[in-house]
Amino acid sequence: MSKILFRDPNVTIFQSALFQTNSTVIRTDDVVLVVDPAWLPEEVIRIREYVDSIREDRAVFLVFTHSDFDHVIGYRAFHNVDKVFMSEAMADNPNKEAIVEQMREFDQRHYIKRSYPLEYPEADFKVYRDGVQYRHQSTKIAFYLTPGHTADSMMLVVWQLGLCLAGDYLSNIEFPFIDYNSVAYEQTLEKLPRIHDRNWFTRLIPGHGDPALTIADWLKRRTESLAYIYALRESIATDTPFDANSLWSRYHFPLLQLKYHEDNIARMRREFEEGLWTWNPDVALEIPDNVPSGEVPKK
C-alpha cells in the first residue's frame, strides 16, 4: 500500500510500495492536478478517492510526465476528468500497444485484478513545444519538453506553488536511466536552470524517491546526474574502466539497477560510434568563442 510521503495544504505525494514511485495530487483554488497516478490497484483507487474527497467544484486535470507503463497504468481509474495533459510525442507514441501489453503482463505476472481497464491515455492537451502555459482561472501551469529518459518526457511547473514535477529525472535513488538518448538527456539537465529562471520553483518532485525541497537539493542532484553522464562518456571514449564502486556507494539498489547501468553503457557506446558526442580530455569545459576574454570565469 502506498504511503503519504509528503503533505502540505496544496501538495500530497503518494508513494507506491513499488520502486518508490511518486504520484502527486495538487490542489489549487480552482484545480486538482493528478500527476502519474501509480500503480498497484489499491494505491490508484486510494488516490482517486482522495481526489474525489477534495475536488468540490474544482476541475480535475490528469497529467502524464512520460509513457513508461508504470506511470500511466492508473489512467482509467479516474472518471470525471476535465482534461488529460501529456507531451505531443507521448500522444503520438508509436509503441502504445506495446506499453499496454507491458501493463497486462505486469498484472498477469502478479495475479493482479483491477476494477478499471488498462489503456493508453488519450490526450486533451498536447504539449508540443517548450514553455507552453495553461491557465485555468487563477492557476497557471508551464510545461517543458524534457527528452532523454524517454523521447516523450516532459516536466511541469505549477506557478503559485513554486513546484516542479520532474518525471523520471533528478531522483535521489536513481542515476540517469537513459532510455532514449544521452545528448538529449544532457540538454534536459542543462535546460533546468533556465526553466527555473523563467518560472521560479524551489521544490522538485521526481518520479521515484524523495522530493527535493530546496533549490540546493535539486541542483545537487542535477550535478550528480551530469557527473554520471560525463564519467560514462570518458570511460567509453578513453576505453578506461568506469568506477562502479562509487556508483553503488551513492545508489543503493545495484541488483536491479546494474542492468540499467549496463543498458546506458551499451546505448552510449552506440552513440559514440555514431558520432553523436565526442570526448576531449584536454577540453573538459568548453568555453564558447564569443565570450569576451574579460568575462571568462577564473578557476
Q: Which residues bind Zn ion (CB under 5 A)?
A: 68, 168, 207
> Minimal distance in Å, beta carbon 168 to Zn ion?
4
Which of 163, 166 has the CB closer to Zn ion? 166
> Minimal distance in Å, beta carbon 71 to Zn ion?
6
Q: What is the DSSP secondary structure assignment for residue 294, as one 8-state letter?
A: G
CB neighbourhood size of 72 (10 A): 28
Which of 28, 168 has the CB closer to Zn ion? 168
Which of 60, 73 has the CB closer to Zn ion? 73
Contact 58, 229 (CB under 8 A): no
Which of 43, 168 has the CB closer to Zn ion? 168
Amino acid identity, position 34: V
Contact 133, 156 (CB under 8 A): no
> Minimal distance in Å, beta carbon 21 to Zn ion?
6
Residue 193 phi, psi (nearest 5) = -60, -35
> Minimal distance in Å, beta carbon 208 to Zn ion?
6
| Strand order, beta sheet including 11-15 | 3-7, 11-15, 22-27, 31-35, 59-63, 83-87, 125-127
Which of 260, 272 has the CB closer to Zn ion? 260
> Minimal distance in Å, beta carbon 176 to Zn ion?
12
Look up cell 518532485; give the residue.
205
